[in-house]
Amino acid sequence: MSELTLAPALLLVGWGTLVALDLVSVPQAMIARPIVAGAVAGWICGDLDAGLRVGLLFELFALDVLPVGAVRYPDYGPATVVATALAAGAPWQFALGLSAALGLVLAVLGGLSLQLVRRLNARAIQHRAAALAAGESSAIRRLQYGGLLRDALRGALLTSLGLLAAWVIDARVRLDGSTALGLTLVAVGCALSAAAGGALRSAGRGARLRWLAAGAVVGLVLAVLA
């Protein structure tokens, strides 16, 4: 983990908050996608490569689930920001596994916190049911701003706690080289299984499966040539 002064730490919390808001509440501009969240977090930490390595890893995990309707899914945005901060400034082969472990725990917590915000939103609506039934526009606005505020607080809290955990891990946990590398390989393997499983599921058995296979063949050829 790079030495984090107050300014980058605050920037990371701010970025984590925006990323958490983007997932569902506003503006769904896809800055919550790990590939974006990680790249910007890497840039803030002064290690863009770490951001891309962590971002791509969590993007593979995120491709497993389509966040549609009322589906429950992990929140990979703040998790990617925190994991990038932990991985920054160290050789990725040894840092990626441990940061992925922390990020995955945070992603699960982020998903649970999203359920909590949704329940709190429902409770707020019940409290203002009479005003809504009377067609009061001000009640709608208050509910909307309250929902956004709750989600922003969720993101800020999640990122702050995550950064604190990252700082403790960086200060206390010392892994030998082979364990650190093993963790990275396990994390990469699991991420690849998530993305491949998601791609196969969404491909079904029709034309899309044939295009998936064609893409894989082209990708393999390019990987050999590159």
Residues 52-81 that bind other proteins (CB under 8 A): 52-53, 55-57, 59-61, 63-64, 66-70, 74
Q: Which of 10, 112, 116, 122 binds other proteins (CB under 8 A)?
A: 122
Q: What is the token pair recorded at 196?
A: 């491949």
Q: What is the 3-state secondary structure (H, E, C) of 74-100?
A: CCHHHHHHHHHHHHCCCCHHHHHHHHH
Instruction: Supply the minimum distance, in Å, between the C-beta of residue 85 and other proteins.
Output: 18
CA separation (Å) from 100 to 14, 172, 187?
Answer: 21, 17, 7
Write out the binding residues for other proteins, residues 153-172 only, by CB under 8 A.
Answer: none
User: Considering only residues 124, 153, 161, 169, which one is a binding residue for other proteins as defined by CB under 8 A?
Assistant: 124
- Angle of CA points 212, 216, 219, to nearest 5°: 135
When asked if residue 140 is in the footprint of other proteins (CB under 8 A), the reply is yes
Tell me which residue has tokens 């840092």.
95
91 forms part of the interface with other proteins (CB under 8 A): no
Q: Does 189 bind other proteins (CB under 8 A)?
A: yes
Q: Assess 31 for contact with other proteins (CB under 8 A).
A: yes
